[in-house]
Amino acid sequence: MSVHILVIDDDAVACEFLEEALSRQGYEVQTRTSARKALEEDLSRYDMLLSDIRMPDMDGLQFLRAVHESWPQMPVIMMTAFGSLETTMEALRLGAWDYISKPFSPDAIRAMVRKVLEVRSLHQLRMLGEPKAETESHFIGSSATMVNFYKQLARVADASASILIEGESGTGKELTARSLHQFSSRRDRPFIPVHCGAIPDTLLESELFGYERGAFTGADHSHPGLLESAKEGTIFLDEITEMSPALQGKLLRFMQNGEIRRLGGHDVRIASVRVVAAGNRDIDEEVRSGRFRADLLYRFVVRLHIPPLRKHKEDIPQLVKSLLNKIGHPTVRVSDEAMEWFMAYSWPGNVRELENVLQQTLLLSPFAVILPENLPLRFRPERVDEPSLPSVTPLESAERDQILQTLRTTSWNQSRTATLLGIDRKTLRSKIQRYGLQRESGS
C-alpha cells in the first residue's frame, strides 16, 4: 500500500526538492504552494503532511491548528528556516509530530518521515482497539517528552530484541510491555506477565522453566513452563532485579540460545520467546553492588526509559480527563485551583498515583467538581515538612511524606497503604525501613 504525502511550502524549489527526495523512497508525493488552498481539500487521503512555517498566505502554525481541527490524528511535520525554541515549542504544543530546521539533507527528512510512519502505525493500532478502550489502557499524553518516548517505543516494537524497561514506580512499565507486544508481529501470540518479585524463587524457577514428573516432592505430573507456553509470544519479567543470582544465570543461558530444560528433565526444548523485562530500581546500581549480573544486563539490547510524570506535567490535564473516564466518572471536573495543586506537586508515584488520588478523592467526596479541600493533605502547597532524615533527596522526601501520611490515614495498615499508593507490600516494607518510618505513639 503506498504512502501519500502532501508537502506545503510557498517556495516552489523547496517543494521540488522534497518531492524528489521522498518519491525516491517510493512515497506518493503531492505539493502545494498555498496552505489556504491545501485546506480546501479533503486531507484525509494523505498519510502525512509536511508544512513550512513561514508562508505569506497562511502561517504554518495556523495551518497546523486548522488541520488538527478537522483531522486530529493527521501526522504533520513542520519545517522552518527560522527555527527557534518558541516556534518549536508552539509547533509541538499544537500537536506537530516532528520539527525540522532548514536546510536539511534528503536523508534527514527521509529518516524523519520513516519514524513518523512508524509512530503513526502505533497510533492506528491503538485506534483499532478503540471499542475496548474503556477497559483496555493506552498511553495518554502528547507532550514532546511523551512523543519522544513513543518514538523510541515504536522504533523497537517490532524487532525481536530483548528490551529492558526502566522507570519509576507507576510510570507505565507494564503498559509499555503490553504495547511492545501489541505493536509487534507477535500480537496474536501469548503475552505472559510474570511478577518476579511476588513469587518465591524456587517456585519462579519451576514456573518459568517447567518441570518433569518427580522433579520434586509433589510434582506428580510434568508441566511446561511459562517460557514454553509463551511460544512465539512475549514474556514480561516484571521486577527482574528481584530474581536470585542462580535464576538470573539460568535466564541468561535461555537468552543466549533459547534453550529450555525443565526441572528434573533432560530434553532440551527451543523457544523463540521475546523477553521484555522491567525494574524500578536503578539497574546499573544493582550491577555495581553485585546483586544483578552484568552479563544478563548486556543481553538486553535496548533499554527504554519512561519519563516520570514530573517531567511532563503538561500532560496532567489530559491524563486527569482520561483517568476520570477510565474510573467511571466521565463528568467529574477538577477545579482550576485543584489543577494548580496537581501541577505544583512532584508525583513520586507518577500516573498510578494520579489515578489513585482521583479514585480516593471521589470515594471520600463524591461531588461533580474536585476542589482543593477534597485532596489529600500532601497536595497542600504550604504543607509543613516533616522533620526529614539526613541524606534524602527532595523527591525521596516527598515520597517519604506521602508514605507516612498514607500510613497514618490507614492506621498503619500496610496492605491498605500499599494498595492506596499503588505499590506492592514488599516495596512498601523496604521503603518504610529505608526512610526509618515509625508509628508515633497514640496514632
Ligand X SMILES: Nc1ncnc2c1ncn2[C@@H]1O[C@H](COP(=O)(O)OP(=O)(O)OP(=O)(O)O)[C@@H](O)[C@H]1O
How far is Cα 270 from Cα 259, in angstroms, rounded to an integer? 5
Beta carbon of residue 265, minimum distance to Mg ion (angstroms, whole number): 32
How far is Cα 428 from Cα 412, in angstroms, rounded to an integer? 11
Of 312 and 352, CB closest to Mg ion: 352
139 counts as binding ligand X under rule CB under 6 A: yes
348 counts as binding ligand X under rule CB under 6 A: no
How far is Cα 287 from Cα 267, in angstroms, rounded to an integer? 32
- How many residues touch ligand X under the rule CB under 6 A: the total is 19
- Which strand (E) or helix (H) includes residue 279? strand 274-279
Of 173 and 186, CB closest to Mg ion: 173
Q: Nearest 10 degrees: CA dihedral of 313, 318, 321, 322?
A: -110
Place of cell 539490547: 301
Cβ–Cβ under 8 Å, residues 169 and 422: yes
Cβ–Cβ under 8 Å, residues 335 and 371: yes
Binder among 168, 174, 353, 401 for Mg ion (CB under 5 A): 174
171 counts as binding ligand X under rule CB under 6 A: yes
Of 169 and 206, CB closest to ligand X: 169
Binder among 182, 280, 359, 361 for ligand X (CB under 6 A): 280
170 counts as binding ligand X under rule CB under 6 A: yes
- Take residue 336 and report the three cell numbers written for it: 482550576
* Residue 94 partner contact from Mg ion, ligand X, none using kind-dependent CB cut-offs of 5 to 8 Å: none
| Residues paired with 79 in a beta bridge | 52, 100
Single out the residue of 25, 262, 177 nearest to residue 48, CA to CA: 25
**Contacts with ligand X, 282-311, as mask; x by CB under 6 A:** ------------------------------
141 counts as binding ligand X under rule CB under 6 A: yes
* Residue 348 partner contact from Mg ion, ligand X, none using kind-dependent CB cut-offs of 5 to 8 Å: none
Segment contacting Mg ion by CB under 5 A, of 168-176, 186-194, 286-294, 306-314: 168-176
Pairing of strands 210-211, 223-224: antiparallel
Beta carbon of residue 351, minimum distance to ligand X (angstroms, whole number): 4
Write b or e for each residue in 374-400: b if 16 or more Cβ atoms lie within 10 A of its Cβ, otherwise e: bbbebbeeeeeeeeeeeeeeeebbbbb
Single out the residue of 392, 398, 386, 296 nearest to residue 353, CA to CA: 398
* Residue 175 partner contact from Mg ion, ligand X, none using kind-dependent CB cut-offs of 5 to 8 Å: ligand X
Of 9 and 355, CB closest to ligand X: 355
145 counts as binding ligand X under rule CB under 6 A: no
Segment contacting ligand X by CB under 6 A, of 120-128, 137-145, 229-237, 368-376: 137-145
Residues forming contacts to ligand X in the complex (CB under 6 A) are 137, 139-141, 167, 169-175, 280, 319, 351-352, 355, 422-423
